[in-house]
Structure formats: structure tokens, C-alpha cells
Structure 1
Amino acid sequence: MGTDQASQAPAISPPTIRERTGSISTDEIVSVLKGEITALHVKQAFSTQIAEEITANFVDSPGLRERKDGVSGQYVGASHYRKDAASYFAESETARPHVDALFGNLVDPVRALFDALKRELHKQGTELRLARSAHGQANVCRALSWSDGGTYALQPHDDVAQVLCAGSDYELSAVAINTVAALNFYPSMAEEGGNLRLWYHKPLVTDRKSQGVETTGYPYSAAYLEDVPCREFQLEVGDIALIDGGFVHGVTRQPRNGKRRLVLNSFFGFARPDLVLWWT
């Protein structure tokens, strides 16, 4: 960590939060993309039967891997975190059959949302597509089960640093100057803990430097966040959460045994006024 991490108090950025029950709307998604809504929590947004089958497919997937990038967890899919574009897109291509197999013959709720948003943005003269390169293209989501055994199952972090510092060979780097939206579907939740915690702080480059997380945004120390107010979302199977990933957020501690917490995760945001990119 930086030696000056406690020298300046983090700036407080009061969020705009919406919580409700039902299906997610494309208008709300666009509002998050435009920075008008900070966090959206939609309860009972997709079928629990579909959720159970996705979870079973994840557990039995031949593509299930342990993360080896300093963030504890198991996953199916690909992550751009701490990878160059060639490695990420090659991994995305290899993982695609395993990601598709998570849904089997089910109606894929992530793809359904992607397609609905694509149609809506097209009406506004904006293209929505998967990020790509000469090495391949991104998948529509990845499946993750966090397993850090400390205070948090996933430590406090922001999603902008890893996009901002992704490198010039990534077209998605352009999204970092706008809102990096993080989309989460929850097919399985632990009996206790595993909630999404959002701190009212949107770090700048200087804040990340003070914490020694300039290129990764991970993790922010407990001391740094001690006096920052936060909001905790009580998640259940079938919920969807969509947040401005520039705000510091994390996952609260959960039991080592019992039901696993599983999330289907994607990122997306404006690369240009007429282009929204989607990736994992």
C-alpha cells in the first residue's frame, strides 16, 4: 500500500439507488450507463428454476477453474483482469462452449437482457456489441463464486482502474472515461452473508495511488473506508444488481460450507456516444 493512504479522507459521493421487484427495464439500464442511477437492485428478476439449473451446470462444468490472479474464487468463463488483450480474447474463445453450456436448453437471462438493450440502443442510434480484437471476442458473461476467507468474500474494489489501465490493445479502455457498469445475476446465494456492499466513494487516480491500487483498483483497505458510509444489498436467488462500477464495492463474508454464492457477471459502457461495449 502507499505510505500516504491515510493522509486525505476519501471524498463522499452520495449515490442514487433504486430497489424494486419485477423485471429489469432497458430505461433503467440506460440510466445507469449515463450515470443517472448509481445502483439498481431488482428482486425476483428471473426464474428460480432457471437459477437452480445454471448453478448445477456450474458445479458440474468441465470448464470450472480456480482464479490465479490474486482474487480468490472459482469461475467459468474469462476475465480481462490483469491480462493483455491477446490472452483475454484467446481465453474467451476457449471458454465460450463452457459459458454456453451453463444455460443448456434454458432461456439465457443474460443474453435476453443483452438483446433487449441492443434493440433499445439501436433506436437511439447507438450500437451495442461484444468487445473484440483480432484474437476473438468477449463472452456475454462469466460465472463466479468468490471464496476469500477474510472479512470479505470479495474485498472492496472499483472496476474502473482495471479498464483504464487495460492497455491500448483493448478497445474497451475508452469506456473508463464514462461509466463502467457492472451487471450481476444471482443464480445461487449463501444462507447468510454474501451481500453486495457499496461505499459512497468513487475514487480518482490520486485515490488509487494512495492505496497502491492504481492499475487494479483492488483491494481498498479497511482503514481507508472506515469513515465512508455504505449501503448493503440483501441479495436472493433470482435477483439482478446493476451498479456504477466506479464506486467502491465488495461482497460480505459468507460461510465456507453450505450453499455457494454464484454470480453471472458482465461489464459494459459507452466507448463512444454511438457505441456501447460489453465484456467480462
Structure 2
Amino acid sequence: MQQSKARLSGQQADPGFFRFEERDELDYELVLDVLHGRRLGVIFRDVIPAAARKDLTERFWASPARQHREGEPSHYVGAYHWNKDAGTYLDESAAVAEHVRDVIDAPDSPWHLFREGVGEVLGKEGASLRVAEMNGRPACAALIRAWDKEGDFSLDPHEDEAQCKDPRQRGFEIQRVLDHQICAVNMCTEHTAGGRLVIWNIRPDDATRRALDIELTGLPYRAEDLAEFEELRVDIREGDVYAFNGAFVHAVGANSGNRTTVSFIMGFTDSETVVSWT
């Protein structure tokens, strides 16, 4: 039976906000704009040195901790906080921490460079960036993954806000980011073809999530339900680094070959602290 189209409700941004800034060199003030909710997103083209992306990609594929995820198929090294209790996520983060570091500690690592740069601009306003914690236990530093899902999307339409509402993670400081903005960060170290970033101009509300029964997961939204909203399609290439407001519905378009990224989510918990998790 064909499903009827759902009417999505929530916030839509004005044209001045709903756009991506593009640069050919890293500008961390633009990332700060995303963190503060002043712009939707920014992409820095070809800013990861060729040797660094080759080394990091090889470390990823050779990692003994690399796993294959079902549901939203991908190869990955790291841990997902999505749809699980905080203790399980932190246990998984601890178990894989050394392997994650073995990948991201490549020479000229974009993970280190980006976080140092963001930390510097945050410092000018009296804030800092660190990995999120709960009871002294750190979140996963990064998630390295390569998509291999068939169909229209390698990663189905979703948003990153709902998953931070899970009551099983009560007390985990990432839930305080909900009072601010959620910023998704991705660094592309390997790319063949396709795999565009697609973002729709809708930041869903809880009424929409409840109607779709995705109140605590934010996944999936159906493309036909999103058709009425303006969308951006951003081509992603090897060497690119991009950051955007993850509360807006977004997806990864179909890709061929490998599309490998280093990623994490970050946001303010208060005026002095930005935390990151995966």
C-alpha cells in the first residue's frame, strides 16, 4: 500500500541564512558562525593535504577495529551515540579509543588542525572546545566511516537534534547543546563519485517527530515528504572539510566507489564550553 504524504512542520530559514559559504582555505570564524547559529554551513575546498588524506584513509581501511554497520550501511571505526543509552556509548567509545587515535593521529591530521583552529577562535570569546564527558568518561573523539548503501541516498534524510533528546542519555552533557546549535563536521579523505550533501530548509519540531515516530532518533524522513521544501545540494570532493547546522534535515546522496570521512558533532553547552561527540 502506498503511504500518504506527511505534512512536516518546524522552522524554515530565510534565504540569507539557508546557504553554504565556500572558501579555498580554512576560516574558523565561519565555523564559529555556524556554532552560533548565524549561518547554515561552510565548506572549505581541498584543504586536507594529499599525503595526509592518503595516510589517514589507509589507516582507516587497515584498522583492526573497522566494522560494518547495518541499517544505514557503512564501514566505520569509532562509536555512535545514536539510539542507545549513555553507558553503552561510553563503553564502546572507551573500547575503540586507541584505534580511533591510530587513524586520526596521522601526520598533518585534519582532525587536529581543525580542532586547534576552532579552539583558537573560541578562545577569543572566552570559550573552549573539548570532547564531551559524563562522570569523567569521554565520548568518542571521531567517527571515521565510508558509506556503501545502495539507492537514492547513501545516508537517508535525517537530523541530529532528535537523537540528543533520548532519556536513556539523561545526564550526558550533550543534551545541553539542545539549548544552542548542533554543528556537524565532516572531513573527506577519500572520494570517488557522487555522495553530495543534501540539506532541506526544514528544522522539524517535536510534533513532526512524534507523527513520524522518530522523536528520539530523527531518522528517517522520506524524500517525498521533503519535496515542498527548498533544498541545497553541495558537491563533496576529496580534501574538503565542511561544517553545518545538523538540526536541518540532511542526507548523503548516492555515491559510487568510496566516500570516506572523519566526522563528529559539536555544540555549545554554555557560553564558555563547546563539546564534541559522535
TM-score (normalizing by structure 2): 0.91
Give the structure 2 partner of residue 96 of structure 1.
97
Q: Which residue of 2 aligns with 1:13?
A: 13
* CA deviation profile, 1:190-244 (whole Å, cap 9, x unmatched): 22x2110111111111121222211100110122112212111111110011110
* Aligned partners of 1:211 and 1:221 also within 8 Å: no
Indicate how the Cα distance of structure 1 residues 135 and 65 shifts in structure 2: closer, same or farther if over 3 A, else same: farther
Residues 58-107 of structure 1: per-residue CA shift (max 9 Å, x gap): 11110101124x32211101111112111111211111111111145412
Superposed, which structure 2 residues align to 1:111-260 within 5 Å? 111-134=112-135, 136-165=137-166, 167-191=169-193, 193-255=194-256, 259-260=257-258
1:57 positional shift: 1.2
Q: Is the alpha carbon distance of 1:90 and 1:11 closer, same or farther for their aligned partners in structure 2, counting shifts above 3 Å? A: closer
Does the aligned pair in 2 maintain the 1:43–1:238 contact within 8 Å?
yes
- Following superposition, the deviation at residue 267 of structure 1 comes to 0.5
> What is the Cα deviation at residue 264 of structure 1?
0.7
Q: Which residues of structure 2 form unaligned runs of 5+?
A: none
Instruction: Return the alpha-carbon distance in structure 1 between the equivalents of residues 277 and 8 of structure 2.
Output: 34
Q: Identify the residue that residue 85 of structure 1 maps to in structure 2.
A: 86
SS at match of 1:247: coil
Contact 1:42–1:241 (CA under 8 A) maintained in structure 2: yes
Residue 279 of structure 1 aligns with an amino acid whose one-letter code is: W
Corresponding letter in the other structure for 1:196:
L
Runs of 4+ more than 3 Å apart: 7-12
Tell whether the 8 Å contact from 1:110 to 1:140 is kept in structure 2 after alignment: no
- Hey, what does 2:55 align to over in structure 1? 53
Paired residues of 1:175 and 1:270 also in contact (CA < 8 A)? yes
Q: Which has the higher strand share?
A: 2
**Cα root mean square deviation, aligned:** 2.0
Gaps of 5+ in 1: none
- TM-score, length basis structure 1: 0.91
Q: Distance in 2 between matches of 1:71 and 1:247?
A: 19
- Tell me the CA shift for residue 175 of structure 1: 0.4
Asked if the contact 1:92/1:136 (under 8 Å) is kept, the reply is: no
